[in-house]
A and B are shown apart, each in its own frame.
Chain A
Amino acid sequence: MERQTINKNKRVFSAEPTKLSPSEVFTRKYTSHLVPALKKLNMDKNSPQINQLTVKHEVDMALALSAQEFAWSRFLLEKLSSSNNPTTTISSSSNGTRIPERSCKEDEDGEIEEKLRELQKLLPGGEEMNVEEMLIEIGNYIKCLELQTSALKSIVQDTT
Protein backbone atom coordinates (compact mmCIF):
# COMPACT_ATOMS: atom_id res chain seq x y z
CA MET A 1 0.00 0.00 0.00
CA GLU A 2 2.66 2.41 0.97
CA ARG A 3 4.67 1.89 -2.12
CA GLN A 4 1.65 2.58 -4.17
CA THR A 5 1.19 5.94 -2.70
CA ILE A 6 4.81 6.80 -3.03
CA ASN A 7 5.04 5.75 -6.58
CA LYS A 8 2.75 8.24 -8.05
CA ASN A 9 3.29 7.23 -11.57
CA LYS A 10 1.16 4.28 -11.04
CA ARG A 11 -2.43 5.08 -11.29
CA VAL A 12 -3.40 3.46 -8.09
CA PHE A 13 -6.76 4.94 -7.71
CA SER A 14 -9.24 2.24 -7.59
CA ALA A 15 -12.82 2.74 -8.28
CA GLU A 16 -13.76 1.03 -5.10
CA PRO A 17 -14.48 3.50 -2.43
CA THR A 18 -14.30 0.99 0.32
CA LYS A 19 -10.62 0.74 0.77
CA LEU A 20 -10.37 3.43 3.32
CA SER A 21 -9.80 2.57 6.85
CA PRO A 22 -12.41 3.84 9.22
CA SER A 23 -10.01 6.30 10.72
CA GLU A 24 -9.37 7.67 7.31
CA VAL A 25 -13.02 8.05 6.67
CA PHE A 26 -13.51 9.71 9.97
CA THR A 27 -10.69 12.14 9.49
CA ARG A 28 -11.93 13.20 6.16
CA LYS A 29 -15.45 13.52 7.29
CA TYR A 30 -14.29 15.51 10.22
CA THR A 31 -12.24 17.96 8.27
CA SER A 32 -14.90 18.27 5.69
CA HIS A 33 -17.33 19.24 8.37
CA LEU A 34 -15.14 21.42 10.41
CA VAL A 35 -13.23 23.39 7.89
CA PRO A 36 -16.13 24.82 6.00
CA ALA A 37 -17.90 25.49 9.25
CA LEU A 38 -14.97 27.44 10.51
CA LYS A 39 -14.77 29.26 7.32
CA LYS A 40 -18.36 30.13 7.53
CA LEU A 41 -17.87 31.32 11.05
CA ASN A 42 -15.08 33.42 9.89
CA MET A 43 -16.87 34.90 7.00
CA ASP A 44 -20.14 35.45 8.66
CA LYS A 45 -18.95 37.21 11.68
CA ASN A 46 -16.38 39.20 9.91
CA SER A 47 -15.06 40.14 13.25
CA PRO A 48 -11.49 39.60 14.22
CA GLN A 49 -12.42 37.71 17.30
CA ILE A 50 -14.11 34.49 16.92
CA ASN A 51 -15.69 33.36 20.07
CA GLN A 52 -13.77 30.51 21.58
CA LEU A 53 -16.86 28.77 22.64
CA THR A 54 -18.26 29.00 19.20
CA VAL A 55 -15.22 27.40 17.78
CA LYS A 56 -15.38 24.72 20.38
CA HIS A 57 -18.97 24.23 19.50
CA GLU A 58 -18.11 23.76 15.89
CA VAL A 59 -15.33 21.45 16.78
CA ASP A 60 -17.61 19.29 18.82
CA MET A 61 -20.31 19.44 16.24
CA ALA A 62 -17.94 18.26 13.58
CA LEU A 63 -16.95 15.43 15.82
CA ALA A 64 -20.51 14.41 16.40
CA LEU A 65 -21.37 14.61 12.76
CA SER A 66 -18.41 12.59 11.70
CA ALA A 67 -19.03 9.73 14.02
CA GLN A 68 -22.68 9.15 13.66
CA GLU A 69 -22.41 5.45 13.83
CA PHE A 70 -21.70 5.62 17.50
CA ALA A 71 -24.15 6.13 20.25
CA TRP A 72 -22.24 8.81 21.99
CA SER A 73 -22.29 11.03 18.96
CA ARG A 74 -26.02 11.07 19.12
CA PHE A 75 -25.91 12.29 22.65
CA LEU A 76 -23.31 14.81 21.77
CA LEU A 77 -25.38 16.13 18.93
CA GLU A 78 -28.35 16.45 21.17
CA LYS A 79 -26.41 18.35 23.72
CA LEU A 80 -24.95 20.61 21.15
CA SER A 81 -28.08 21.37 19.31
CA SER A 82 -30.28 21.66 22.32
CA SER A 83 -28.11 24.24 23.91
CA ASN A 84 -27.52 26.75 21.27
CA ASN A 85 -25.24 28.69 23.45
CA PRO A 86 -22.22 26.57 22.93
CA THR A 87 -21.60 25.30 26.40
CA THR A 88 -18.62 23.11 26.43
CA THR A 89 -20.16 19.85 27.32
CA ILE A 90 -16.87 18.19 27.58
CA SER A 91 -15.30 20.54 29.99
CA SER A 92 -12.65 18.68 31.78
CA SER A 93 -12.63 21.04 34.67
CA SER A 94 -15.98 19.91 35.86
CA ASN A 95 -14.75 16.49 36.74
CA GLY A 96 -13.16 17.59 39.89
CA THR A 97 -16.23 17.10 41.98
CA ARG A 98 -16.57 13.47 42.53
CA ILE A 99 -18.52 12.25 45.44
CA PRO A 100 -17.46 8.82 46.54
CA GLU A 101 -20.72 7.20 47.07
CA ARG A 102 -19.62 3.78 47.95
CA SER A 103 -16.67 4.34 50.07
CA CYS A 104 -18.13 2.27 52.81
CA LYS A 105 -19.21 -0.76 50.92
CA GLU A 106 -17.10 -3.42 49.25
CA ASP A 107 -14.06 -1.33 48.94
CA GLU A 108 -12.53 -2.63 45.83
CA ASP A 109 -15.69 -3.06 43.92
CA GLY A 110 -16.86 0.28 45.13
CA GLU A 111 -13.74 1.92 43.87
CA ILE A 112 -14.14 0.37 40.52
CA GLU A 113 -17.76 1.34 40.34
CA GLU A 114 -16.77 4.83 41.21
CA LYS A 115 -14.27 5.00 38.45
CA LEU A 116 -16.71 3.56 36.03
CA ARG A 117 -19.12 6.27 36.94
CA GLU A 118 -16.47 8.86 36.42
CA LEU A 119 -15.76 7.43 33.06
CA GLN A 120 -19.40 7.58 32.28
CA LYS A 121 -19.37 11.25 32.98
CA LEU A 122 -16.62 11.81 30.50
CA LEU A 123 -18.47 10.18 27.72
CA PRO A 124 -21.30 12.16 26.26
CA GLY A 125 -24.38 10.24 27.07
CA GLY A 126 -22.41 7.82 29.10
CA GLU A 127 -24.61 8.12 32.07
CA GLU A 128 -27.54 6.81 30.19
CA MET A 129 -25.82 3.68 29.12
CA ASN A 130 -25.17 0.63 31.10
CA VAL A 131 -21.63 -0.17 31.95
CA GLU A 132 -20.88 -2.69 29.29
CA GLU A 133 -22.22 -0.51 26.57
CA MET A 134 -20.36 2.39 27.97
CA LEU A 135 -17.09 0.58 27.85
CA ILE A 136 -17.54 -0.19 24.21
CA GLU A 137 -18.50 3.35 23.42
CA ILE A 138 -15.58 4.70 25.33
CA GLY A 139 -13.30 2.78 23.02
CA ASN A 140 -14.88 4.38 19.99
CA TYR A 141 -14.84 7.72 21.63
CA ILE A 142 -11.19 7.53 22.41
CA LYS A 143 -10.38 6.60 18.88
CA CYS A 144 -12.39 9.46 17.48
CA LEU A 145 -10.90 11.88 19.93
CA GLU A 146 -7.46 10.89 18.80
CA LEU A 147 -8.35 11.39 15.19
CA GLN A 148 -9.99 14.67 15.99
CA THR A 149 -6.88 15.82 17.78
CA SER A 150 -4.66 15.03 14.88
CA ALA A 151 -7.01 16.70 12.44
CA LEU A 152 -7.14 19.80 14.57
CA LYS A 153 -3.41 19.81 14.85
CA SER A 154 -2.98 19.72 11.15
CA ILE A 155 -5.52 22.48 10.74
CA VAL A 156 -3.82 24.64 13.28
CA GLN A 157 -0.45 23.98 11.82
CA ASP A 158 -1.61 24.97 8.44
CA THR A 159 -2.81 28.29 9.59
CA THR A 160 0.15 29.30 11.66
Chain B
Amino acid sequence: MGGESNNEGEMGLNHGHDPSMPLYAKADPYFSSSDWDPVVNGGGFSSSPYPSVVMDNPGMSCFTHYQSGSGYPDMPASLLPFGDCGGGQFLGSEKNGESVGRLMRAGESHDQVSDDGVSPTRKRRQAEAESQRNKKAVEEFQEDPQRGSDQSQKRQKDGQSKETMNKESSQSEEAPKENYIHMRARRGQATNSHSLAERVRREKISERMRLLQELVPGCNKITGKAVMLDEIINYVQSLQQQVEFLSMKLATVNPEINIDMDRIIAKDLLQSRDRNTPTLGLNPFSGFQGTIPNISTTTNPQYNSLPQTALESELQSLYQMGFVSNPSTMSSFSPNNGRLKPEL
Protein backbone atom coordinates (compact mmCIF):
# COMPACT_ATOMS: atom_id res chain seq x y z
CA MET B 1 0.00 0.00 0.00
CA GLY B 2 0.94 3.48 -0.34
CA GLY B 3 1.09 3.81 3.33
CA GLU B 4 3.74 1.25 3.59
CA SER B 5 5.93 2.59 0.96
CA ASN B 6 5.46 5.98 2.35
CA ASN B 7 6.37 4.88 5.75
CA GLU B 8 9.38 3.06 4.55
CA GLY B 9 10.36 5.92 2.50
CA GLU B 10 10.10 8.19 5.38
CA MET B 11 11.88 6.00 7.75
CA GLY B 12 15.22 7.26 6.85
CA LEU B 13 14.12 10.77 7.32
CA ASN B 14 12.25 10.23 10.42
CA HIS B 15 15.08 9.71 12.72
CA GLY B 16 14.37 12.92 14.33
CA HIS B 17 10.96 13.44 13.00
CA ASP B 18 8.57 11.05 14.39
CA PRO B 19 5.67 13.38 14.09
CA SER B 20 5.89 13.09 10.40
CA MET B 21 5.14 9.47 10.40
CA PRO B 22 1.61 9.64 11.52
CA LEU B 23 1.07 12.46 9.16
CA TYR B 24 2.05 10.39 6.28
CA ALA B 25 -0.17 7.72 7.55
CA LYS B 26 -2.95 10.16 7.57
CA ALA B 27 -2.07 11.23 4.15
CA ASP B 28 -2.82 7.91 2.69
CA PRO B 29 -6.37 8.63 1.81
CA TYR B 30 -5.27 11.56 -0.19
CA PHE B 31 -2.36 10.29 -2.10
CA SER B 32 -1.81 7.11 -3.85
CA SER B 33 1.46 5.48 -3.25
CA SER B 34 2.80 6.10 -6.65
CA ASP B 35 2.27 9.70 -6.15
CA TRP B 36 4.26 9.73 -3.06
CA ASP B 37 7.34 8.06 -4.23
CA PRO B 38 9.01 10.98 -5.81
CA VAL B 39 7.84 13.01 -2.95
CA VAL B 40 9.28 10.63 -0.53
CA ASN B 41 12.68 11.10 -1.92
CA GLY B 42 12.40 14.65 -1.24
CA GLY B 43 13.76 17.33 0.77
CA GLY B 44 14.05 18.76 4.12
CA PHE B 45 11.71 17.87 6.78
CA SER B 46 11.35 21.06 8.49
CA SER B 47 8.68 20.27 10.88
CA SER B 48 7.42 23.23 12.67
CA PRO B 49 8.05 26.56 11.16
CA TYR B 50 7.44 25.55 7.67
CA PRO B 51 3.80 24.96 7.63
CA SER B 52 2.51 23.46 4.56
CA VAL B 53 5.26 23.09 2.19
CA VAL B 54 6.91 20.33 4.03
CA MET B 55 6.71 16.93 2.62
CA ASP B 56 5.45 15.27 5.64
CA ASN B 57 2.19 17.06 5.54
CA PRO B 58 1.03 16.19 2.20
CA GLY B 59 -2.64 16.07 1.97
CA MET B 60 -3.54 17.14 5.38
CA SER B 61 -1.50 20.16 5.66
CA CYS B 62 -1.99 21.15 2.13
CA PHE B 63 -5.55 21.21 2.83
CA THR B 64 -5.27 22.96 6.09
CA HIS B 65 -2.72 25.20 4.68
CA TYR B 66 -4.87 26.44 1.98
CA GLN B 67 -7.58 26.95 4.36
CA SER B 68 -5.44 29.04 6.52
CA GLY B 69 -4.68 31.04 3.51
CA SER B 70 -1.13 31.80 4.28
CA GLY B 71 1.27 32.94 1.72
CA TYR B 72 2.96 29.70 1.22
CA PRO B 73 0.76 28.37 -1.45
CA ASP B 74 2.10 31.09 -3.57
CA MET B 75 5.44 29.53 -3.77
CA PRO B 76 5.81 27.49 -6.84
CA ALA B 77 9.10 25.84 -6.95
CA SER B 78 10.31 27.85 -9.82
CA LEU B 79 10.40 30.90 -7.68
CA LEU B 80 12.51 29.53 -4.99
CA PRO B 81 16.06 30.52 -5.61
CA PHE B 82 17.62 28.28 -3.11
CA GLY B 83 16.47 26.07 -0.42
CA ASP B 84 14.14 24.65 -2.97
CA CYS B 85 11.23 24.59 -0.73
CA GLY B 86 8.36 22.39 -1.29
CA GLY B 87 6.50 24.64 -3.57
CA GLY B 88 7.15 22.00 -6.08
CA GLN B 89 5.30 19.78 -3.83
CA PHE B 90 2.20 21.67 -4.43
CA LEU B 91 2.61 21.65 -8.08
CA GLY B 92 3.35 18.03 -8.03
CA SER B 93 0.45 17.37 -5.88
CA GLU B 94 -1.70 19.27 -8.21
CA LYS B 95 -0.67 17.11 -10.99
CA ASN B 96 -0.66 13.84 -9.26
CA GLY B 97 -2.83 14.02 -6.26
CA GLU B 98 -6.02 14.68 -7.98
CA SER B 99 -7.97 14.19 -4.90
CA VAL B 100 -5.82 16.69 -3.22
CA GLY B 101 -6.16 18.96 -6.11
CA ARG B 102 -9.82 18.95 -5.61
CA LEU B 103 -9.43 19.48 -1.98
CA MET B 104 -7.29 22.42 -2.57
CA ARG B 105 -8.91 25.37 -4.00
CA ALA B 106 -7.98 24.70 -7.51
CA GLY B 107 -8.75 28.10 -8.73
CA GLU B 108 -6.53 29.56 -6.18
CA SER B 109 -3.73 27.29 -7.06
CA HIS B 110 -4.00 28.30 -10.64
CA ASP B 111 -3.96 31.86 -9.64
CA GLN B 112 -0.89 31.24 -7.68
CA VAL B 113 0.80 29.76 -10.61
CA SER B 114 -0.18 32.64 -12.73
CA ASP B 115 1.05 34.98 -10.15
CA ASP B 116 4.55 33.98 -10.89
CA GLY B 117 5.32 36.77 -13.13
CA VAL B 118 3.55 39.31 -11.13
CA SER B 119 5.44 39.57 -7.96
CA PRO B 120 8.32 37.22 -8.09
CA THR B 121 10.44 39.26 -5.80
CA ARG B 122 7.91 39.27 -3.07
CA LYS B 123 7.47 35.60 -3.33
CA ARG B 124 11.14 35.14 -3.55
CA ARG B 125 11.56 37.00 -0.34
CA GLN B 126 8.92 34.98 1.30
CA ALA B 127 10.47 31.95 -0.11
CA GLU B 128 13.83 32.96 1.11
CA ALA B 129 12.59 33.71 4.54
CA GLU B 130 10.88 30.45 4.56
CA SER B 131 13.74 28.65 3.07
CA GLN B 132 15.95 30.05 5.73
CA ARG B 133 13.68 28.88 8.41
CA ASN B 134 13.38 25.68 6.60
CA LYS B 135 17.07 25.43 6.55
CA LYS B 136 17.18 25.86 10.23
CA ALA B 137 14.90 22.99 10.77
CA VAL B 138 16.68 21.04 8.16
CA GLU B 139 19.95 21.76 9.76
CA GLU B 140 18.72 20.79 13.13
CA PHE B 141 17.61 17.70 11.52
CA GLN B 142 20.96 17.25 10.05
CA GLU B 143 22.85 17.67 13.24
CA ASP B 144 24.23 14.25 13.54
CA PRO B 145 25.35 13.55 10.09
CA GLN B 146 26.52 17.03 9.53
CA ARG B 147 30.05 16.25 10.32
CA GLY B 148 30.01 13.68 7.72
CA SER B 149 28.27 16.00 5.41
CA ASP B 150 31.24 16.66 3.25
CA GLN B 151 31.88 13.02 3.03
CA SER B 152 28.31 12.46 2.25
CA GLN B 153 28.35 15.05 -0.44
CA LYS B 154 31.28 13.44 -2.03
CA ARG B 155 29.73 10.13 -1.66
CA GLN B 156 26.59 11.32 -3.18
CA LYS B 157 28.41 12.72 -6.07
CA ASP B 158 30.40 9.62 -6.54
CA GLY B 159 27.52 7.31 -6.18
CA GLN B 160 25.83 8.04 -9.42
CA SER B 161 24.38 4.64 -9.39
CA LYS B 162 22.22 5.81 -6.61
CA GLU B 163 20.12 7.69 -9.05
CA THR B 164 18.00 4.66 -9.11
CA MET B 165 16.70 5.63 -5.81
CA ASN B 166 15.28 8.77 -7.10
CA LYS B 167 12.12 7.76 -8.76
CA GLU B 168 11.46 4.39 -7.30
CA SER B 169 11.29 3.74 -3.66
CA SER B 170 13.44 5.53 -1.27
CA GLN B 171 14.41 2.31 0.29
CA SER B 172 17.76 2.30 -1.34
CA GLU B 173 18.41 5.59 0.34
CA GLU B 174 18.14 4.11 3.69
CA ALA B 175 21.29 2.12 3.74
CA PRO B 176 23.65 4.83 2.67
CA LYS B 177 21.68 7.30 4.65
CA GLU B 178 23.36 6.84 7.91
CA ASN B 179 26.30 8.98 7.19
CA TYR B 180 24.53 11.16 4.79
CA ILE B 181 22.80 14.36 5.32
CA HIS B 182 19.22 13.42 5.35
CA MET B 183 18.21 15.53 2.53
CA ARG B 184 15.34 14.80 0.38
CA ALA B 185 14.54 16.30 -2.87
CA ARG B 186 11.32 18.01 -2.70
CA ARG B 187 8.66 17.24 -5.11
CA GLY B 188 9.29 18.57 -8.49
CA GLN B 189 12.97 18.97 -7.86
CA ALA B 190 15.73 17.09 -9.45
CA THR B 191 16.73 14.39 -7.13
CA ASN B 192 19.98 13.12 -8.41
CA SER B 193 22.80 13.14 -6.00
CA HIS B 194 24.35 16.17 -7.52
CA SER B 195 21.41 18.35 -6.91
CA LEU B 196 20.99 17.13 -3.43
CA ALA B 197 24.53 17.89 -2.54
CA GLU B 198 24.27 21.14 -4.33
CA ARG B 199 21.24 22.07 -2.37
CA VAL B 200 22.84 21.21 0.89
CA ARG B 201 25.78 23.31 -0.01
CA ARG B 202 23.61 26.19 -0.98
CA GLU B 203 21.75 26.02 2.24
CA LYS B 204 24.93 26.10 4.18
CA ILE B 205 26.05 29.10 2.29
CA SER B 206 22.82 30.84 3.00
CA GLU B 207 23.20 30.08 6.64
CA ARG B 208 26.60 31.67 6.69
CA MET B 209 25.31 34.62 4.80
CA ARG B 210 22.75 35.14 7.44
CA LEU B 211 25.42 35.22 10.07
CA LEU B 212 27.34 37.70 8.05
CA GLN B 213 24.27 39.76 7.75
CA GLU B 214 24.28 40.25 11.45
CA LEU B 215 27.89 41.20 11.40
CA VAL B 216 27.75 43.87 8.78
CA PRO B 217 25.98 46.93 10.01
CA GLY B 218 22.86 47.95 8.29
CA CYS B 219 22.20 44.74 6.54
CA ASN B 220 19.27 43.57 8.50
CA LYS B 221 16.78 44.62 5.98
CA ILE B 222 18.52 43.25 3.02
CA THR B 223 17.25 40.09 1.58
CA GLY B 224 18.89 38.52 -1.34
CA LYS B 225 22.24 36.97 -1.73
CA ALA B 226 23.56 39.30 -4.36
CA VAL B 227 22.77 42.49 -2.56
CA MET B 228 24.01 41.09 0.67
CA LEU B 229 27.26 40.06 -0.90
CA ASP B 230 27.61 43.49 -2.37
CA GLU B 231 27.20 45.00 1.01
CA ILE B 232 29.72 42.70 2.55
CA ILE B 233 32.21 43.44 -0.16
CA ASN B 234 31.75 47.13 0.27
CA TYR B 235 32.09 46.88 3.96
CA VAL B 236 35.26 44.86 3.84
CA GLN B 237 36.72 47.22 1.31
CA SER B 238 35.85 50.22 3.39
CA LEU B 239 37.37 48.66 6.46
CA GLN B 240 40.53 47.94 4.58
CA GLN B 241 40.63 51.45 3.26
CA GLN B 242 40.20 52.76 6.73
CA VAL B 243 43.08 50.69 7.93
CA GLU B 244 45.22 51.97 5.12
CA PHE B 245 44.29 55.51 5.83
CA LEU B 246 44.96 55.17 9.49
CA SER B 247 48.28 53.56 8.90
CA MET B 248 49.17 56.39 6.61
CA LYS B 249 48.31 58.77 9.33
CA LEU B 250 50.28 56.74 11.71
CA ALA B 251 53.25 56.95 9.44
CA THR B 252 53.12 60.68 9.49
CA VAL B 253 52.85 60.97 13.20
CA ASN B 254 55.09 58.11 13.95
CA PRO B 255 58.15 60.09 14.83
CA GLU B 256 56.35 61.49 17.81
CA ILE B 257 55.23 58.19 19.02
CA ASN B 258 58.17 57.37 21.13
CA ILE B 259 56.84 58.99 24.18
CA ASP B 260 53.32 57.96 23.86
CA MET B 261 53.49 54.25 23.48
CA ASP B 262 53.01 53.54 27.09
CA ARG B 263 50.25 55.96 27.27
CA ILE B 264 48.55 54.40 24.33
CA ILE B 265 48.58 51.06 25.92
CA ALA B 266 47.31 52.46 29.13
CA LYS B 267 44.64 54.39 27.41
CA ASP B 268 43.59 51.52 25.32
CA LEU B 269 43.29 49.39 28.36
CA LEU B 270 41.39 52.04 30.15
CA GLN B 271 39.04 52.59 27.31
CA SER B 272 38.42 48.99 26.78
CA ARG B 273 38.01 48.47 30.43
CA ASP B 274 35.48 51.17 30.71
CA ARG B 275 33.73 49.76 27.77
CA ASN B 276 33.78 46.13 28.34
CA THR B 277 35.83 44.36 30.80
CA PRO B 278 34.58 43.40 34.12
CA THR B 279 38.10 42.93 35.21
CA LEU B 280 41.28 44.33 34.04
CA GLY B 281 42.04 40.77 33.39
CA LEU B 282 45.27 39.39 34.32
CA ASN B 283 45.48 37.88 30.96
CA PRO B 284 46.48 40.89 29.00
CA PHE B 285 48.76 41.95 31.67
CA SER B 286 50.42 38.68 31.78
CA GLY B 287 50.56 39.00 28.09
CA PHE B 288 52.06 42.36 28.41
CA GLN B 289 54.36 41.12 30.96
CA GLY B 290 55.46 38.54 28.61
CA THR B 291 55.64 40.78 25.70
CA ILE B 292 56.81 44.09 26.79
CA PRO B 293 59.87 43.10 28.61
CA ASN B 294 60.58 40.45 26.07
CA ILE B 295 59.26 41.76 22.94
CA SER B 296 61.83 43.29 22.81
CA THR B 297 64.89 42.44 23.03
CA THR B 298 64.90 45.57 21.04
CA THR B 299 62.33 47.66 22.70
CA ASN B 300 63.16 46.87 26.24
CA PRO B 301 66.34 48.80 26.32
CA GLN B 302 64.50 51.49 24.50
CA TYR B 303 62.06 51.78 27.26
CA ASN B 304 64.83 52.52 29.55
CA SER B 305 66.55 54.84 27.23
CA LEU B 306 63.57 57.00 26.55
CA PRO B 307 63.87 60.55 27.59
CA GLN B 308 61.95 60.43 30.73
CA THR B 309 59.63 63.01 31.92
CA ALA B 310 58.19 62.67 35.32
CA LEU B 311 55.03 61.34 33.84
CA GLU B 312 56.85 58.76 31.89
CA SER B 313 58.73 57.47 34.78
CA GLU B 314 55.58 57.24 36.69
CA LEU B 315 53.98 55.42 33.85
CA GLN B 316 56.81 53.04 33.61
CA SER B 317 56.80 52.29 37.24
CA LEU B 318 53.12 51.72 37.07
CA TYR B 319 53.58 49.39 34.21
CA GLN B 320 56.18 47.48 36.01
CA MET B 321 53.90 47.20 38.90
CA GLY B 322 51.11 46.12 36.72
CA PHE B 323 53.12 43.64 34.87
CA VAL B 324 54.18 41.88 37.89
CA SER B 325 50.63 40.70 37.67
CA ASN B 326 50.33 40.39 41.31
CA PRO B 327 46.78 40.69 42.38
CA SER B 328 47.66 43.10 45.06
CA THR B 329 49.55 45.28 42.71
CA MET B 330 46.85 44.84 40.19
CA SER B 331 44.33 46.11 42.58
CA SER B 332 46.49 49.00 43.39
CA PHE B 333 46.80 49.61 39.75
CA SER B 334 43.24 50.59 39.55
CA PRO B 335 43.35 53.58 41.80
CA ASN B 336 46.49 54.54 40.05
CA ASN B 337 44.74 54.36 36.80
CA GLY B 338 42.00 56.37 38.18
CA ARG B 339 44.50 58.88 39.19
CA LEU B 340 46.21 58.63 35.94
CA LYS B 341 43.35 59.78 33.88
CA PRO B 342 43.16 63.34 35.00
CA GLU B 343 46.85 63.58 34.65
CA LEU B 344 46.73 62.35 31.17
- Please list the residues of chain A having a beta carbon within 8 angstroms of any beta carbon in chain B: 1, 4-6, 8-9, 11-21, 23-25, 27-29, 31-33, 35-36, 38-44, 48, 50-52, 54-56, 59, 88, 90-92, 95, 108, 111-112, 115-116, 118-119, 122-123, 131-132, 135-136, 138-139, 141-143, 145-146, 148-149, 151-156, 158-160
Contacts and interface: CB of A to CB of B under 8 A. Distances in A.
Contact of A43 (B81, B237, B276, B302): B302
Contacts of B204: 132
Contact of B281 (A17, A50, A112, A138): A17
A11 B296 CA distance: 31
B243 A149 contact: yes
B324 interface: no
Interface of B: 81, 201, 204-205, 208-209, 211-212, 215-216, 225-226, 229-230, 232-233, 235-237, 239-244, 246-251, 253-258, 260-261, 263-265, 267-269, 271-274, 276-284, 286-288, 291-292, 295-296, 298-299, 302, 327, 330-331, 333-335, 337-338
B233 A154 contact: no
B19 to A, nearest CB: 30
16 contacts: A5-B278, A14-B282, A19-B278, A20-B279, A39-B257, A50-B251, A54-B251, A90-B240, A115-B233, A122-B240, A123-B236, A145-B236, A151-B268, A152-B243, A156-B250, A160-B253
Contacts of B236: 119, 122-123, 138, 141-142, 145
A19 B279 contact: yes
A156 B246 contact: yes
Contacts of A4: 278-279
Contacts of B235: 142
B284 A154 contact: no
Nearest to A119: B233
A4 B331 CA distance: 13
Contacts of A152: 243, 246-247, 250
A9 B265 CA distance: 22
Contacts of A19: 277-279, 281
B288 A32 contact: yes
B312 to A, nearest CB: 13
8 A-B pairs with least C-beta separation: A17-B283, A135-B208, A115-B229, A1-B278, A152-B246, A11-B331, A28-B284, A145-B239
Contacts of B288: 28, 32
Contact of B296 (A14, A36, A91, A153): A36
A3 B5 CA distance: 64
A158 B315 CA distance: 15
B299 A40 contact: yes
B254 A136 contact: no
B284 A20 contact: yes
Contacts of A28: 268-269, 272, 284, 287-288
Contacts of B230: 115
Contacts of B232: 119, 138, 142
A154 B267 contact: yes
Contacts of B273: 5
Contacts of B295: 32, 36
Given A108-B226, A138-B212, A59 B247 contact: yes
B253 A12 contact: no
B241 A92 contact: yes
A78 B334 CA distance: 40
A63 B298 CA distance: 20
Contacts of B239: 142, 145-146, 149
Contacts of A12: 278-280, 334
A142 B216 contact: yes
Given A108-B81, A108-B226, A31 B254 contact: no
A3 to B, nearest CB: 10
B72 to A, nearest CB: 22
A13 B299 contact: no
A145 B240 contact: yes
Contacts of A156: 246, 249-250, 253
